[in-house]
Amino acid sequence: MNIPALLDNPLMQILLIIAIAYGLHRFFKWLIGAIIERAVRKEKTETVTDVKKRRDTVAGIIRALVSLLVWLIAAGAILVVLNVDLARVAAGAGFLGIIIGLGAQATIRDYLAGFFILLESQYRVGDVVTLNGAGVSQETSGVVEDITLRITKLRDLDGTLHIVRNGEASIITNRTFKFSSIVLDIGVDYDSDLDHVEKVMNRVGKHMLQDPAMAAQIKEPIQFLRVEAFADSSVVMRALGKVQPAQQWEIAGQYRRLIHKEFKKEGIVIAFPQLVVHDAGKKN
């Protein structure tokens, strides 16, 4: 068999190019999967399904881009074998690419933003987030129901579904990433013994750990932090705690319920706005 003569055959050259391109396609598919497996690590709060979904999405995007590049190079090589003028083809493709690029700038931006949201795990399904800035005209908050490369779906407390393009939000606030904090300001009467108030607040926070259901959600019990301010009608006492993601509202609500009962038992008055009126015209 005359190998050089066989390789001079344009048909054989094309078949060889396709074979090499297919081999590279398979190799890069395996390589990208191995790299993403190591690069995209599981967060503590993620399930196995969540991290697999994130890895598959990111790997799929990179594989598609690399595969496109491999086959474009292969197509160019085949055109060279067929003696096609690549300069004209490139000029036409460049002009077409400019037209498509100008019309699809926003969509491309959305896809790129979605790629980095998934790669960096900025937020996941089930997180409570607020999206703001750039193209988002007003603050949009809710529970993340779905994330795709182009859009994020948020469901708010009213049940309204908000669909936000990923490229539109430049400020992302994730309220449930890894852990959540509870910051409570409680106003007490100016006649209150602040040391006693502090002890009661700490006791209630520790008492919540005796409930197994609540204890499972609490990382650090709610405790007195500082005297925050002297308000018009109250001394503001600040408490701070740390809980599992998305549990801050439930645990804070339970703490308020318990602190209200304990304050009544201890004779501590929760202050309310008061207005003192002086009659300027009244003479003593």
**CATH number of the CATH domain containing 151:** 2.30.30.60
- pLDDT, tens only, 198-238: 999 999 999 999 999 999 999 999 999 999 999 988 999 99
pLDDT at 229: 94
Q: Is residue 114 part of a domain?
A: no
pLDDT at 3: 67
Residues 198 and 150 in one domain: no
- Distance CA(122)–CA(164), nearest Å, equals 15
The predicted pLDDT at position 98 comes to 63
Q: Are residues 20 and 99 in the same domain?
A: yes
Are 97 and 41 in a shared domain? yes
- What span, in angstroms and rounded, lies between the C-alpha atoms of 257 and 184? 13
- Quote the pLDDT of residue 216: 92
Give the model's pLDDT for residue 175. 87
**For position 200, what pLDDT does the model report?**
96
Count of domains for the chain: 3
Average pLDDT over the chain reads 84
Q: What is the pLDDT of residues 128-146, one digit of tens each?
A: 999 987 666 678 899 988 8
Q: Would 192 be classed as within a structural domain? A: yes
* DSSP label of 211: S
Q: Are residues 157 and 66 in the same domain?
A: no
pTM over the 0.85 mark: no
Q: Say if residue 144 is in the same domain as residue 83.
A: no
Q: Are 110 and 149 in contact (CB under 8 A)?
A: yes
pLDDT at 47: 64
Within-domain flag for 279? no
Whole-angstrom CA distances from 218 to 46, 130, 237, 243, 245 are 18, 23, 21, 4, 10
Tell whether 113 is covered by a domain: no
User: Quick one: 87 and 69 in the same domain?
Assistant: yes
pLDDT at 250: 93
Which CATH number fits the domain that encloses residue 38? 1.10.287.1260
Instruction: Give yes or no: residues 90 and 138 share one domain.
Output: no
Domain presence at residue 65: yes
- Same domain (yes/no): 62, 39: yes
Low-confidence ranges of the chain (pLDDT < 50): none
Quote the percentage of the chain above a pLDDT of 70.
Answer: 84
- Which domain, by its residues, includes 143? 122-174
